[in-house]
Chains A and B, each alone.
Chain A
């Protein structure tokens, strides 16, 4: 048979077609929005009107820690403190996908989609629930009437089992905290989830922090923050990345916000954690008492980028410092144990205090003395 090699052409053509499709999908043209100053973009964010949206958020952390899948952390235990320590480690070392539905300031649902499992936080007016499908536990969180300071801050921080932080919430925290200690400039325009966006670049003025810069993509029409990337010094990939993968700026179906605990589920009642006194300007930042990565970076950002948070020994959650997980990841230093990442350092001192901050380890040890 002549030209028998032509029979193999389809087999060569298929990978070529797939490659073309992948490349064409990745490179989409960005229509440039009208030129703008950082101040205009900041005003756009401050006045942003997109209170109704639904979308999928991808969350990635690259802190230089070994990747620990949640299965390896063992089954969820009844001990809330150990469970939360495992949750924090899982958040720090693996990526997450979450669906977010929002309708106005008091209706929010966040669904963290794990493999064969899901963690939910629902808020509908003054009614707030969290649900964990692995343990089949529903927790009701009491929201004080009229006590809503910001959208969604209650369900997502009230329970450590739902570590979801939407780009919107995270960006608002950074922008609230960015005062005179931060240079704000405008980066190149980008496209996030098919929406054209301005890029705000927040650069700390102080050299004493591990944070190199924070980039926030702001939707050009509505001012909704679409993505937040936190860059650590000496690392080209973002240490923390959260972005919408797709976004629909229409009101979600009302049934999404209706939640009744399923029959057979364990139902718990939990009071809203009281904000710690005097721990920064934003009550949202202090709602998370754990030295979680977001909590501590927020708490430190609330004052300045290189500030250090010291949690006295009696305020540290029981079981956190002596949990096997922390022991494995932390390395012994002179004053205690150091959990070192590219963005945040956490020092557990020998007398039980927890010292944390987005600063080099040496600064922490000096502060611990």
Chain B
């Protein structure tokens, strides 16, 4: 194996880690990635500005949940941002990144060079997926940070009111917000695996992106139909809006665990499908 020859390596890092780091740096050197992250961060900022400069105060019980909480505690801008982004914007950006993973290389004609290097198809697949996971974390953090910065700049930060009517201090509120970001990240892992599989099916990245995003929307439409309630526990998006369970007192961890199990099952299934497809297909480009 070539990785056992240290003199050919520029540094002492294992090959897998080097490939992973190079993949991540390629991802974050793209303008597209940064544009998506900035757009995500802009959502809570826009909400914050709209609430701050609207002539009347936010109406109670209307609009996105927690809107009337914002004027008491700026950190809730981040909470609203996550809830607003969860159904569409976050899946959209993850779909773009995940759909591009393999199909993007194939369309540029660089896939076979990647495979000429002793990377191996399985390792390439895993590294591509892990880089997508890094983007999922970055996307959720972008919303949280955009919300926190906008909230700190526009509103006072006081005690935050939870869904249960109890109040917590700003420090704990920030902790809960980060946990919600974590919940959003976990929620996106299954979709990232679907995107990876879609990406192995085609050499047209846009096709894979569109397929991934459409699946995310279809899953939510099915989730809204009461006639299909037997199907709901199996749907990718079933727990997406349960991130508000982290705003209860005491925290309701049940949905966090169920969501993690569900997403793990999706990752295993679509990861296995991607493996089956990618290791059997002829790489022509």
Tell me the A250-267 residues at the B interface (CB within 8 Å): 253, 256, 259-265
Q: Does B10 contact A (CB under 8 A)?
A: no
Q: B161 to A113, Cβ gap below 8 A?
A: no
- Residue in A113, A117, A136, A256 whose beta carbon sits within 8 Å of that of B252 in the complex: A113
Q: Does A131 contact B (CB under 8 A)?
A: yes
Q: B226 to A14, Cβ gap below 8 A?
A: no
Interface size on B, residues (CB 8 A): 35
Tell me the A2-48 residues at the B interface (CB within 8 Å): 4, 7-11, 13-15, 17-18
Q: Does A323 contact B (CB under 8 A)?
A: no
In the bound complex, CA of A260 to CA of B124 (Å): 55
Which of B28-36, B45-53, B138-146, B164-172 is found at the contact surface with chain A?
Answer: B164-172
Q: A117 to B275, Cβ gap below 8 A?
A: no
In the bound complex, CA of A261 to CA of B164 (Å): 10
In the bound complex, CA of A118 to CA of B161 (Å): 12
Which of B14-22, B58-66, B106-114 is found at the contact surface with chain A?
Answer: B58-66
In the complex, the chain A residue whose C-beta lies closest to that of B121 is: A7
- Residue in A1, A7, A116 whose beta carbon sits within 8 Å of that of B275 in the complex: A7
**A-B contact sample (17 more), CB < 8 A, given A120-B164, A262-B165:** A7-B275, A7-B276, A18-B269, A75-B61, A113-B245, A115-B242, A116-B65, A116-B163, A120-B165, A134-B65, A135-B61, A136-B68, A136-B69, A262-B161, A263-B158, A263-B167, A264-B68
- Residue in A14, A15, A265 whose beta carbon sits within 8 Å of that of B165 in the complex: A265
Q: A116 to B280, Cβ gap below 8 A?
A: no
Provide a sorted-by-A list of 25 A–B residue pairs whose CB atoms are within 8 angstroms.
A1-B280, A7-B276, A7-B280, A10-B272, A11-B272, A11-B273, A11-B275, A14-B265, A14-B268, A14-B269, A67-B226, A111-B248, A113-B245, A113-B252, A116-B241, A116-B244, A117-B65, A118-B248, A120-B165, A129-B165, A133-B164, A134-B65, A259-B165, A260-B167, A262-B166
- Chain B residues contacting A116 (CB-CB under 8 Å) are 65-66, 83, 163, 241, 244
In the complex, the chain A residue whose C-beta lies closest to that of B66 is: A116
Q: Does A76 contact B (CB under 8 A)?
A: yes
In the bound complex, CA of A76 to CA of B161 (Å): 19
Q: B166 to A11, Cβ gap below 8 A?
A: no
In the complex, the chain A residue whose C-beta lies closest to that of B225 is: A67
* Interface contact tally, CB-CB below 8 A: 94
Tell me the B208-228 residues at the A interface (CB within 8 Å): 226
Q: A48 to chain B: closest CB distance in Å?
A: 25
Q: B252 to A99, Cβ gap below 8 A?
A: yes
In the bound complex, CA of A7 to CA of B167 (Å): 53
In the bound complex, CA of A134 to CA of B69 (Å): 11
Q: Does B55 contact A (CB under 8 A)?
A: no
Q: A112 to chain B: closest CB distance in Å?
A: 11
In the bound complex, CA of A117 to CA of B62 (Å): 12
In the bound complex, CA of A8 to CA of B273 (Å): 7
In the bound complex, CA of A10 to CA of B267 (Å): 12
In the complex, the chain A residue whose C-beta lies closest to that of B245 is: A113
Q: A255 to chain B: closest CB distance in Å?
A: 9
Q: B61 to A118, Cβ gap below 8 A?
A: no
Q: A183 to chain B: closest CB distance in Å?
A: 34
In the bound complex, CA of A95 to CA of B191 (Å): 28
In the bound complex, CA of A67 to CA of B224 (Å): 12
> Contacts A134-B61, A262-B166 hold; do A13 and B72 have CB atoms under 8 A apart?
no
Tell me the B240-285 residues at the A interface (CB within 8 Å): 241-242, 244-245, 248, 250, 252, 254, 265, 268-269, 272-273, 275-276, 279-280
Q: B62 to A10, Cβ gap below 8 A?
A: no
Mask for B72-84, Cβ within 8 A of A = 1, else 0?
A: 1000000000010
> Contacts A116-B244, A263-B159, A264-B72 hold; do A10 and B61 have CB atoms under 8 A apart?
no
- Chain B residues contacting A138 (CB-CB under 8 Å) are 165
- Chain A residues contacting B159 (CB-CB under 8 Å) are 262-263
Q: B208 to chain A: closest CB distance in Å?
A: 18
Interface size on A, residues (CB 8 A): 41
With most chain A CB atoms within 10 A of its CB, the pick from B159, B165, B254 is B165
Q: A133 to B165, Cβ gap below 8 A?
A: yes
Q: B248 to A265, Cβ gap below 8 A?
A: no
- Chain A residues contacting B254 (CB-CB under 8 Å) are 56
- Residue in B61, B161, B272 whose beta carbon sits within 8 Å of that of A265 in the complex: B161
Question: What 7 pairs across the A-B complex have the smallest Cβ distances?
Answer: A131-B165, A10-B272, A262-B161, A118-B163, A8-B276, A11-B272, A116-B65
Q: A11 to B276, Cβ gap below 8 A?
A: yes
- Chain B residues contacting A75 (CB-CB under 8 Å) are 61-62
- Chain B residues contacting A263 (CB-CB under 8 Å) are 72, 158-159, 161, 167
Mask for A145-173, Cβ within 8 A of B = 1, else 0?
A: 00000000000000000000000000000
Q: Does A64 contact B (CB under 8 A)?
A: no
In the bound complex, CA of A63 to CA of B244 (Å): 30
- Chain A residues contacting B83 (CB-CB under 8 Å) are 116
> Contacts A7-B279, A69-B226, A116-B83 hold; do A264 and B272 have CB atoms under 8 A apart?
no
Q: A117 to B163, Cβ gap below 8 A?
A: yes
- Chain B residues contacting A261 (CB-CB under 8 Å) are 165
Tell me the A231-281 residues at the B interface (CB within 8 Å): 253, 256, 259-265
- Residue in B158, B166, B245, B272 whose beta carbon sits within 8 Å of that of A14 in the complex: B272
- Chain A residues contacting B241 (CB-CB under 8 Å) are 115-116
In the bound complex, CA of A264 to CA of B60 (Å): 11
In the bound complex, CA of A259 to CA of B161 (Å): 12
- Chain B residues contacting A253 (CB-CB under 8 Å) are 250
Tell me the B156-193 residues at the A interface (CB within 8 Å): 158-159, 161, 163-167
Q: A21 to chain B: closest CB distance in Å?
A: 9
In the bound complex, CA of A97 to CA of B57 (Å): 32
Q: B272 to A13, Cβ gap below 8 A?
A: yes
Q: A10 to B276, Cβ gap below 8 A?
A: yes
- Chain B residues contacting A133 (CB-CB under 8 Å) are 163-165
- Chain B residues contacting A13 (CB-CB under 8 Å) are 272
In the bound complex, CA of A113 to CA of B247 (Å): 11
In the bound complex, CA of A89 to CA of B183 (Å): 32
